[in-house]
Structure 1
Amino acid sequence: MTTPAKATREITLRFLAEPGDVNFGGKVHGGAVMRWIDQAGYACAVSWSGHYCVTVYVGGIRFLHPILIGYLVEVNARLIHTGRTSMHIAITVRAGDPREGGLTETTRCTMVFVAVSSTGAPALVHKWVPATAEDVALENYALKQMELRQAMEAALVPPAG
């Protein structure tokens, strides 16, 4: 399968954290951060595949630092592995006070999306090939996560009967 002319491997969303995103503790609600992560991951997956995509997995989400209202937020989504119909996307959220400059990593995770055809069936995606040592390391990370996820799922299957 050939790569579409407009395929994009990486996307970054930037915006300000708004008062509607606040939790009871006065910080941005984790659910708002997860919504932003899903939006950036979706945009990246669609840009790469050229198809509507669905989220099939979000894993390893790690909240490192709080985000305050008024902070500039940057959500980066980068393709790190492709399967036949799936795409593994690494998401990094960074935020900081725009008056002070500089952003701090606040959240990170990995997502898996599946491309879907107009009939609702999984759609083939073009293969991504790592080009740098960093790309190879990221793909190896995605593959290791996939192995761990499969082992956990197998271990948690209830006994038949």
Structure 2
Amino acid sequence: MEKKYKTIKSSKVTISELMLPSNTNFSGKIHGGYILSLMDQIAFACASKFSGSYCVTASVDTVDFLNPIEIGELVTMKASVNHVGNSSMVIGIRVVSENIQTGKVKHCNSSYFTMVAKDSEGKNAIVPRLILTNHEEVRRFCEALHRKEAKQDNKNIKKTFDYTSPESLRDIESMDIKIEL
């Protein structure tokens, strides 16, 4: 079977939504969970568009809420594939909000979702390979590789770390934490 290649441009998706009072948290700002839900939707759309398959969310990397989003602001999310594996894709998402009266735009969030393509039987489906067309795409691809390696390193540390050893317990207590076992 001949390998299929696609450009990152072919994966790009943009959505915009006006933030309503019904989407607020107890402090009157737009609820982070609502923004995460929109991010999951655009990650799905981007991954499905690129792969031509139904896709599921496998993981969400660090989500930092940089600036609050106000009622009445227009939120725009942009997503594109940054990296591909055999059946997985790393989707980069950037979230900005715009005060539609003043025109002021602020960066609110960036995150990376790992999505997995599925076939009609629910098994992992092969995704197209990437064609990188500029240095920015190469940078994003390489950064995704580094995040993937760091994630694996962290898993390996968790497997080997002995949190019950006297040395580990002393290290924890040195942080002004009491341990009463």
Q: Please report how far the alpha carbon of residue 57 of structure 1 lies from its aligned counterpart in structure 2 after TM superposition.
A: 1.0
User: Contact between 1:64 and 1:106, CA under 8 Å: does it hold in 2?
Assistant: yes
Aligned twin of 1:130: 132
Percent of aligned pairs with the same amino acid: 32
Partner Cα distance (2:118, 2:133) in 1: 27
Aligned twin of 1:119: 121
Q: Counterpart amino acid of 1:93?
A: V
Listed as ranges, the matches of 1:71-150 within 5 Å are: 71-150=73-152
Q: Please report how far the alpha carbon of residue 127 of structure 1 lies from its aligned counterpart in structure 2 after TM superposition.
A: 0.5
Q: List runs of 5+ in structure 1 lacking aligned partners.
A: none
- Structure label with greater radius of gyration: 2
User: Contact between 2:5 and 2:131, CA under 8 Å: does it hold in 1?
Assistant: no
User: Contact between 2:21 and 2:71, CA under 8 Å: does it hold in 1?
Assistant: yes
The count of residues paired between Structure 1 and Structure 2 equals 157
Q: Please report how far the alpha carbon of residue 156 of structure 1 lies from its aligned counterpart in structure 2 after TM superposition.
A: 1.5
Q: Please report how far the alpha carbon of residue 131 of structure 1 lies from its aligned counterpart in structure 2 after TM superposition.
A: 1.1
Tell me which of 146, 150, 153 is aligned to 1:151. 153
Compute the TM-score of the two structures, normalised by the length of structure 2. Answer: 0.83
SS at match of 2:63: strand
Tell me which of 16, 41, 48 is aligned to 1:46. 48
1:109-160 CA deviation, whole Å, 9 max, x = no partner? 111100000001000000012110101100001000000111111222378x
SS at match of 1:14: strand
Partner Cα distance (1:131, 1:152) in 2: 32
Partner Cα distance (1:129, 1:14) in 2: 27
Partner Cα distance (1:47, 1:103) in 2: 28
Q: Counterpart amino acid of 1:134?
A: E
User: Contact between 1:8 and 1:44, CA under 8 Å: does it hold in 2?
Assistant: no
Q: Please report how far the alpha carbon of residue 102 of structure 1 lies from its aligned counterpart in structure 2 after TM superposition.
A: 3.9
SS at match of 1:62: coil
Greater helix proportion: 2
Partner Cα distance (1:20, 1:128) in 2: 40
Partner Cα distance (2:27, 2:10) in 1: 37
Q: List runs of 5+ in structure 2 lacking aligned partners.
A: 162-181
Q: Counterpart amino acid of 2:149?
A: E
SS at match of 2:138: helix
Runs of 4 or more, structure 1, over 4 Å off, are none
